[in-house]
Amino acid sequence: MILIGNDAQGIDLVKSQPDYLLKVKDLGQLKFFLGLEVARSSKCIFLNQRKYTLELLDATGLLGCKPSTTPIDPQIKLYSKESHLLEDISMYRRLIGQLIYLTNTRPDICFAVNHPSQFLSAPTMAHYQATLRIFRYLKANLGLGLFFTSDSPLQLKGFYDSDWASCPETRCSVIDFCIFLGDSLIS
Amino acid sequence: MAKITTVRLLLAIVATKNWHVEQLHVNNAFLHGDLHEEVYMEVLKGVVPPKPGKVCNLRKSLYGLRQASRQWYEKLSTVLIVLCYTQS
């Protein structure tokens, strides 16, 4: 549970209140929340999932893989049925699920994760290779995260881009967007 | 349940406004939930039931139950409402 406010005494009051109803433990300053590491200074807040990424690489046995500088091959187009199905489909789904959680602080891998996640029902070797590529990219850039600076204006900005009819199977366009509050990336 | 986007948005505001951010941990959160359904559990190994062939009738939620997270959410919201907070 996170408490946010501009009144330190008020926060102390809130903290003491639920004590007689639920057993709570005060963890002080927000540092680690659901895999998100929060670093605070007077100038900024920095969010990352370094520990989560490391554990992920360790659990998948990819700590020793060759690092890659990009998360996805820019030429690649994934198709639904181009080769044999993977034998261990649930492993593939688990990997994608973990990567999707990682996109919380890693918008740089958003597209690379989304693309192979469209084939969860029938993944093939090509999809698996694309997924491994993301892990190799993660290994090269473990500690990247989101940076919220304190001197950013409270102004909402939205950007979007679309690639007309770029999906080779449905001829649908691929659209993506990002929203900033001042200089901080939010969505 | 708060979306992660909301968490990010709040933290971004916190950074600009220089607010305080603190964290609380609820011990054994899922054990607080009350059960509305009838749920039975086999007696654990090592516990001797008063009569053989008996099972346990659960009154509070346990980890691993389907409704555990929902019941915890309900408990937390009622506690906060009792403490005169309003839900957005």
**Integer-rounded Cα radius of gyration of chain A:** 20
Structure tokens at A89: 């489909």
Question: In DSSP terms, which residues pair with B58 in a beta bridge?
Answer: B39
Contacts of A31 in chain B (CB under 8 A): 23
Q: What is the pLDDT along chain B (88 residues), one digit of tens a residue?
A: 578 888 888 888 888 888 888 887 888 888 888 888 888 988 888 888 778 888 888 888 888 888 888 998 888 888 888 878 888 7
Phi/psi at B25 (5° precision) = -125, 130
Q: Do A2 and B16 touch (CB under 8 A)?
A: no
B22 neighbors A28 (Cβ within 8 angstroms): yes
Find the closest chain A residue to B8 by CA distance: A186
Give the residue extent of every domain in chain B.
Answer: 27-82
ipTM: 0.78
User: pTM of the full predicted structure?
Assistant: 0.79
CB atoms within 10 A of CB A125: 13
B63 CB burial (10 A radius; 0-12, 13-18, 19+): exposed
pLDDT score of B13: 87
Chain B interface with A: residues with Cβ < 8 Å: 4-5, 7-29, 32, 75-76, 79-80, 82-83
pLDDT score of A159: 92
Q: What is the separation of C-alpha A89 from the centre of its chain, rounded to a whole number of angstroms?
A: 22
B46-53: long-range contacts, CB 8 A cutoff, minimum separation 24: none
Using the Cβ of A177 and the Cβ atoms of chain B, whether some distance falls under 8 Å is answered with no
C-alpha to C-alpha distance for A53 and A111, rounded to whole angstroms: 18
Find the closest chain A residue to B15 by CA distance: A150
> Which residues in chain A show pLDDT less than 70?
1, 4-6, 17-22, 82
Helix axes A89-102, A50-59, angle to 10 degrees: 170
Find the closest chain A residue to B16 by CA distance: A150
Facing residue for A2 by CB, picked from B13, B21, B82: B21
